[in-house]
């Protein structure tokens, strides 16, 4: 049994080395985008290791919410994303089609009249109910609201769109005085929060594996 613990420790030491590589990329402005994408791939890998029997998307979000120590943050709803959703290509994805609400619900969160972009699910639901939207399906709203959470956005736009399609909607470009172009995240999910989440996932997963003397997929 001690031999198994030794191998588990060695396994996670390799992940420590990998995380340092990502940190090195993040420390260089010209490679920040690459560092962020690497972190997101690590999160996806941890999700699949820990939850091998569920979909990649569900595992990604589940590892973020349960192991990052940042559940409250990743459960926040991005109301700008919600407001623009009817025009988003994501609307046609199978799991987004479950969200069925009257069009009037989107007008509540017009960015022109909302100073706060990221709000809790409870706050979101309270605002919707206060607006007395005709035809509101509250049960459907509660069941599918996490589709507009930061965890979902992280998966859709960093793990999928950026990695697989080389499209970077959460990034903006800046230029220094020498004409060098750099990327930065223009969202609440920035490089610092993503690194913090990844580091915490690694540490918490390691601790759980060592405490139980089990590999991630056997927990």
**Higher pLDDT pick, 111 / 50:** 50
pLDDT of residue 153: 94
Compute the C-alpha angle 189/192/197, nearest 5°. 75
**pTM tops 0.85:** yes
pLDDT of residue 215: 95
pLDDT of residue 30: 85
Q: Is the pLDDT of residue 7 over 60?
A: yes
pLDDT of residue 29: 84
Q: What is the DSSP string of the chain?
A: -HHHHHHHHHHHHHHHHHHHHHHHHHTSGGGHHHHHHHHHHHHHHHHHHH-TTS-HHHHHHHHHHHHSS-HHHHT-EEHHHHHHGGGSGGGGSGGGGG----THHHHTT-GGG-S-SEE-HHHHHHHHHHTT-TT--HHHHHHHGGGGBHHHHIIIIIIIIIHHH---TTEEEEE-TTS-EEEEE-SSS-HHHHHHHHHHHHHHHHHHHHHHT--GGG-
For 166-184, what is each residue's pLDDT tens digit? 777 777 777 677 777 777 7
pLDDT of residue 1: 55
Q: What percent of the chain has pLDDT over 90?
A: 67
Query: Residue range 176-196: average pLDDT?
Result: 84
Lowest mean pLDDT of 28-42, 43-57, 179-193, name the range.
179-193
**Higher pLDDT pick, 92 / 4:** 4
Residue ranges of domains in the chain: 1-76+172-219, 77-148
* Strands 118-119, 77-78: pairing kind: antiparallel
């Amino acid at each position: 049994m001690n031999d198994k613990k030794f191998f588990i420790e060695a396994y996670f030491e390799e992940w420590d080395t990998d995380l340092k590589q990502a940190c090195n990329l993040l420390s260089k402005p010209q490679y920040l985008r690459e560092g962020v994408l690497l972190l997101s791939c690590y999160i996806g890998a941890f999700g699949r290791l820990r939850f091998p029997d569920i979909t990649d998307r569900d595992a990604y979000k589940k590892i973020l919410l349960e192991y990052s120590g940042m559940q409250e943050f990743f459960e926040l709803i991005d109301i700008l994303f919600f407001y623009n959703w009817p025009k988003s290509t994501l609307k046609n994805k199978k799991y987004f089609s479950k969200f069925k609400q009257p069009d009037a619900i989107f007008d509540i969160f017009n960015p022109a009249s909302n100073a706060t972009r990221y709000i809790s699910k409870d706050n979101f639901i309270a605002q919707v109910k206060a607006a007395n939207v005709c035809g509101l399906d509250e049960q459907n709203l509660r069941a599918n609201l996490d589709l507009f959470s930061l965890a979902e956005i992280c998966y859709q736009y960093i793990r999928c769109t950026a990695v697989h399609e080389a499209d970077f909607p959460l990034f903006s470009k800046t230029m220094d005085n020498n004409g060098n172009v750099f990327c930065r995240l223009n969202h609440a999910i920035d490089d610092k929060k993503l690194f913090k989440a990844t580091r915490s996932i690694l540490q918490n997963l390691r601790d759980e594996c060592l405490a139980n003397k089990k590999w991630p997929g056997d927990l």
